[in-house]
Structure 1
Amino acid sequence: MAAVVASAPGKVLMTGGYLVLERPNAGIVLSTNARFYAVLKPLYDDEAMEVEWMDVKVNSPQMSRVTTYKMSLKDFTLDCSSESRNPFVEYAVQYSIAAAYSTLDKNKRNKLHKLLSQGMDITILGCNDFYSYRNQIEAQGLPLIPESLATIPPFTSITFNAGESNVETCKPEVAKTGLGSSAAMTTAVVASLLNYLGIVELPCSTKDQESGYSSDLDLLHMIAQTAHCIAQGKVGSGFDVSSAVYGSHRYVRFSPKIISSAQEAICTTPLDEVIGEVLKAKWDHERTKFSLPPLMNLILGEPGSGGSSTPSMVGAVKKWQKSDPEKSKETWDKLSEANSALEAHLHLLSKLAAENWYSYKSVIESCSKFKSEKWKGQFSESSHVELVEALLGAREAMLKIRRHMRQMGEAAGIPTEPESQTRLLDVTMDTEGVLLAGVPGAGGFDAVFAITLADSSANLTKTWSTHNVLALLVREDPCGVSLESDDPRAK
């Protein structure tokens, strides 16, 4: 049987940091061209009829790791014979196979059993964009520009701690860019398994995603969310898994009890029954189509100050909400209003682009050459003025979002927009052709994002380089999970 290769994208949460944890607040999440791949093939050529344990081998070449397991086909427990373990991959494997058992009838289960008796060989690969290669670039004396990043071969190994003299105990020191590698990896592994086991059919392109794959994607989403939450040890908002499955969209989270009740049941109930219940549960998340208006580009910059720990920052915000419910509600309401305003301006810009493309194109291209304070003076025609006002409205909304995020951070005692990031974002928003900029998601020291107009990204790349910020190669790609034609290393 040929290998099944599935991929899932990383994300940028443009609006809805913290708020998206609570229904019915929405977040806008953009999926990117940075993808995680899972390459799945049988471990052995021939099938054995009666096996109780299946062999599973997980390769992670970028981490120079191979992990081997035996998995019970009775109760889906995994027995690991290696030191290094990856809980995200483990739960993805267990829950996908349990889902196959819970959805197939008896005849098909026999076929499934034969397939599983051949064992599984799973290779996981993440695009370079998920990780920071800044140190290598600096060590080679290369300038901090995307062209330097482009010289690094795809799926390059992630550097080991330089200070460790004992190679045996040396764990990979992984500096990440904040694109949601664990969610993309979990989704890719679940997708490859469910496709391999004949439970779902995956789309091969964006066109496919819009046609008849929705119930298959919904099933994949339920399994990936459950595996990811339980591997993390907490029920997060799930926007990162949702965008890994469906691509860019506006997201409202599911009720946490769907997964927390599964978490409790796992101790007492057979896993295939627990997963069966998860698949029958009323998943009440909301997903509305969204992508950036035409001629707008997402660009990310890595300031080189290392990432942030989202869980501890979320914990601090929750503590503040408990200790000062009145003030925190006021800040959240303002933040929510500013998020909605930004969304409305971006929708209006997409609508104006559809109604009068030539006007839209000429305004965006003109504005891309100037700083925002000069945009208004360029135009007198009313349709052009309306477009400029929508652009400036989007900017204003982003400035409000940033202001309220900072207030929240100060009140909760966490760096949602640290001073160094504030200075960087102000410089960014003052560059020709930049519409807006912010710290994605929970904030902190992760990569910053900007939305640029037409061909103005090069201006920003130069500006960032002079401020010791490396522009990444990541762009928005609204496509979600996908079936690939072959191993990405073959390209």
Structure 2
Amino acid sequence: MEVVVSAPGKVLITGGYLILERPNAGLVLSTTARFYAIVRPLYNEIKPESWAWAWTDVKVTSPQLSRECTYKLSLKNSTLQCTSSRDFTNPFVEQAIQYAITASKVILVDESKKDKLQRLLLQGLDITILGANDFYSYRNQIEAHGLPLTTDALASLPPFSLITFNSEAPNGVATGEKCKPEVAKTGLGSSAAMTASVVAALLHYLGVVSLPLSEKSLGHGNAANSDLDLVHIIAQSAHCIAQGKIGSGFDISAAVYGSQQYVRFSPAVLSSAQVTGEKHLLDVVTDILQAKWDHDKSHFSLPPLMTLLLGEPGTGGSSTPSMVGSVKQWQKSDPQKSQETWKRIASANSMLEEQLKNLSKLAADYWDAYSHIISSCSRHAHGMWMQLVNDQYQEFVVKSLIGARNAFLEIRLHMREMGKAAGVPIEPESQTRLLDATMNLEGVLLAGVPGAGGFDAVFAIILGDASDSVGKTWSSHGVLPLLVKEDPRGVSLESGDPRVKLVSTAVSGLRLG
């Protein structure tokens, strides 16, 4: 028996900083970048003496880092003890395993189900984790080979390529000892997607939930709501404990449910998990499952004929926790000004969401007019769009397009003001110049910095087939256009090991070592 589950990465297009506080909403898009968890039994047979065992074996393999970690899992407490080097253990995977197995024990109370769970655990767990190339930066390898910063160069990489890590000591002097991998990422939420995929794969493997096959999974509502809600609760809890703080949770929610409008849960629902040193994990998970999870999610995805593009500027990463801390400090020091700024951003966020939803409705009601004017606008800069209108329905579409642009420009303006007041580069000047140039290209609706902002990434939402001009412009500015697009699906059951399918269809040839 083998179970393969995938969960998507995310892009937060509105709600940066505001989403940390209820009831502010954010728009988050799930993506084609997916993290995979493969769960299979470690042993084919259970030994006769297993009835007396207090521990079973767990192995976690990360082929992209060439790492393997082994553990003993307590059959009584569901806690892990590492039996290999702890240098390369992953706290997100460890917490995902412990919380998923504990939740299984809480939920599977029927004797026959408990026996089946025990037999599966006694066979041991062999877990493999794989992240799509889109989660990681291969910019250095591309530049080292003298290749242009293009999607073609990225596409030439083998699927699930080895991830480069620093093999030198912090002072730059090589040592004989291996050091912790320093992995360059693209900001798509790899830890959240990984946590969600491991939790979902284990819960499905152990018979607690039934997930939809990826071929049939088209977004919200494909598995039983209770199944997805359970995956969400356990993944959210494990992720928060692993990262040592209770974040907004939008990345886990997107990994489980897909693209959505999201309002965070009250941090109090995880109060039990924060005192794990004083309580048994079984009691903690029981409390978490019984808590009133008050997060809010509603379906949202880009209107038809619109595409999400992402770019990697390569100007050095930004520390999101540090930036969040500075913004919170500014809120305390100037509550009146900060409240006014947040209200303006929240209002512009709502306006953008309203215009995008209106465009989806216009597409459904007046498809011919919608598709025609989107195609026309994709070949012209925004200043020309109104001149392309031929009837009232096309005019409705263009007015909503312009309304969305204006709302987003308002968001960017106030986010820059907030960054300046808080002393953090939410939209650095170099990004501003790039984003302004991008928004003036043919067929570009929006261009911004996702999430908390900074230097990590840029995104654009384009109309029709305008991606070529954006890719060329970004490349000319030293920005590597990524392959990732929006995919509104959440967590999904896969039909087999993704390496078999993807490697067989990948572009062969160049390998960047």
TM-score normalised to the size of structure 1?
0.97
* CA distances 1:330-379 after superposition (whole Å, capped 9, x unpaired): 00000000100100110111111111101001110000001111111222
The residue number in structure 2 matching 1:88 is 92
Distance 1:218 1:487 in 2: 25
The residue number in structure 1 matching 2:75 is 73
The residue number in structure 1 matching 2:27 is 28
1:99 to 67, 78, 103: 103
1:436 to 443, 446, 463: 446
* CA distances 1:169-211 after superposition (whole Å, capped 9, x unpaired): 2432211100000000000000110001100111113248534
The residue number in structure 2 matching 1:231 is 242
Asked if the contact 2:34–2:193 (Cα under 8 Å) also holds between the matched residues in 1, the reply is yes
Taking the TM superposition and a 5 Å limit, the aligned residue runs for 1:395-410 are 395-410=405-420
Structure 1 segments (4+ residues) deviating >4 Å? none
Distance 1:409 1:8 in 2: 32
Asked if the contact 2:241–2:273 (Cα under 8 Å) also holds between the matched residues in 1, the reply is no
1:261 Cα shift?
3.0
1:258 aligns with 2:269: yes
Query: In the alignment, residue 33 of structure 1 is paired with which amino acid?
Result: T
Does the C-alpha gap of structure 1 residues 170 and 271 become closer, same or farther in structure 2, counting only changes over 3 Å? closer
2:225 to 214, 218, 227: 214
* CA distances 1:291-350 after superposition (whole Å, capped 9, x unpaired): 000000000011111322211111111111111110100000000001001001101111
2:313 to 291, 298, 303: 303
The residue number in structure 1 matching 2:180 is 171
The residue number in structure 1 matching 2:156 is 151
List alignment gaps of at least 5 residues for structure 2.
502-513
Does the C-alpha gap of structure 1 residues 179 and 207 become closer, same or farther in structure 2, counting only changes over 3 Å? closer
Distance 2:241 2:166 in 1: 29
* CA distances 1:401-420 after superposition (whole Å, capped 9, x unpaired): 11111111111111111111
1:479 to 480, 485, 489: 489
- What is the percentage of aligned positions where both structures have the same residue? 63
CA RMSD, Structure 1 to Structure 2 (Å): 1.3
The residue number in structure 2 matching 1:111 is 116
TM-score normalised to the size of structure 2?
0.93
The residue number in structure 2 matching 1:18 is 17
Distance 2:405 2:68 in 1: 47
List alignment gaps of at least 5 residues for structure 1.
none
Distance 1:191 1:9 in 2: 12
Distance 1:344 1:198 in 2: 40
2:197 to 174, 188, 193: 188
Asked if the contact 1:176–1:306 (Cα under 8 Å) also holds between the matched residues in 2, the reply is no
The residue number in structure 1 matching 2:62 is 60
Distance 1:430 1:261 in 2: 50
Distance 2:195 2:277 in 1: 22
2:382 to 365, 372, 377: 372
Distance 1:167 1:280 in 2: 50
1:162 Cα shift?
6.5
The residue number in structure 1 matching 2:508 is none
* CA distances 1:96-147 after superposition (whole Å, capped 9, x unpaired): 0110111111512222112101111111000000000011111111111101
Distance 2:177 2:196 in 1: 31
* CA distances 1:417-467 after superposition (whole Å, capped 9, x unpaired): 111111111111011110011100010111100000001111111111111
Asked if the contact 2:428–2:455 (Cα under 8 Å) also holds between the matched residues in 1, the reply is yes
Greater shift, 334-343 or 77-86, is seen at 77-86
The number of residues matched between the two structures is: 489
Distance 1:432 1:270 in 2: 58
Helix, strand or coil: the match of 1:49?
helix
* CA distances 1:274-305 after superposition (whole Å, capped 9, x unpaired): 11111111111111110000000000011111
Query: In the alignment, residue 261 of structure 2 is paired with which amino acid?
Result: R
The residue number in structure 1 matching 2:254 is 243
Helix, strand or coil: the match of 2:185?
coil
The residue number in structure 2 matching 1:125 is 130
Greater shift, 11-20 or 75-84, is seen at 75-84
Helix, strand or coil: the match of 2:51?
coil
Query: In the alignment, residue 143 of structure 1 is paired with which amino acid?
Result: P
Does the C-alpha gap of structure 1 residues 212 and 171 become closer, same or farther in structure 2, counting only changes over 3 Å? closer
